[in-house]
Amino acid sequence: MGEKMTRQGVPFERLKIASFDFTCCEGCQLQLTNRESSLPDFLGLLDVRNFREISSERHDDYDIALIEGSISRQDEVERLLKIRKQAKILVAFGTCACFGGVNSLKNRHPVEELIDEVYPGMIIETLPVRKISDLVKVDLSIPGCPVDKGEIERIMVNLVTGSLVTLPKYPVCIECKAQLTTCMFELGEICLGPLTRAGCNAICTSGNTPCLGCRGPAEEINMTAFFELVKERGLSLDDLHEKLAFYNAFEPFSSHEA
């Protein structure tokens, strides 16, 4: 895939990688540059061909494409299709790419009304927000808002070495309990930790903030039991629906009724 290298006598092939941003804040890409202690070793695994936050160089020969952001314009659709044609592996990178993210809140309102409200008198090209997998084949999804730098580094090492790439199957609650954090439900808050895929090290709940599910659903979740828990605690089902819709990550469960 890329340049042959050795590290501690072990041969490996540097990944020819490119990163592209669509409708997003670019926070996930910035995560990859924010951990200075491990950045040199991390970049040593990669042959960066296109990555605006790291280098001004631009090359179109890459094997792995990291896609951050959702799709909200026709020109983004066309650019994404071109990237998919080039990339051997396409990675949906962050919550917006994986699920649509906060941008998907726009889909809950008529687009024309939003344009008139925010950009009165202007012609704005925009489409309903879609996640990457709505348009092209996604080979690997890495959720998070933003993504976890440690998780990205582990996954890239796995790709370099040809190892199996996995994400936690269990919910954030497991990580939260391991840190002896007081359950947000005990504090009268709706928390999506019991539903959400782990891997963030319970960063929100450890900071006394309820989980909003940016990593999407864990495997084998029990949505009916969760709704019952919310009702038993006397908490608002309207608030629950708002939280579930925030990142669009639980869209497959949007029609669920307790």
Instruction: Give percent of the chain with pLDDT exceeding 70.
Output: 93
Residue 19 has pLDDT above 60, yes or no: yes
6: alpha, beta or left, given left = phi > 0 and alpha = psi -120 to 50? beta
**Domain layout of the chain by residue ranges:** 4-161, 172-253
144-180, pLDDT tens digit by residue?
999 998 898 888 888 887 888 999 999 999 999 999 9
Domain 4-161 has CATH 3.40.50.700: yes
Residue 10 has pLDDT above 70, yes or no: no
79-109, pLDDT tens digit by residue?
999 999 999 999 999 999 999 999 999 898 8
The DSSP code sequence of the chain is ---EEEETTEEEE-EEEEEEE-BS-SHHHHHTTS-TTTHHHHHHTEEEEE-TTT-S-B-S--SEEEEESBB-SHHHHHHHHHHHHH-SEEEEESHHHHH--GGGGGGGS-HHHHHHHHSTT--------B-GGGTS--SEEE--SS--HHHHHHHHHHHHHTPPP----SBHHHHHHHTTPPPGGGGT----TTTBB--STTHHHHTT-----TT-BPTT--HHHHHHHHHHTT--HHHHHHHHHHSSTTGGGTT---
Identify the pLDDT of residue 206. 93
Give this prediction's pTM.
0.88
Identify the pLDDT of residue 2. 58
Identify the pLDDT of residue 110. 86
**Cα–Cα distance, 19 to 27 (Å, whole number):** 12
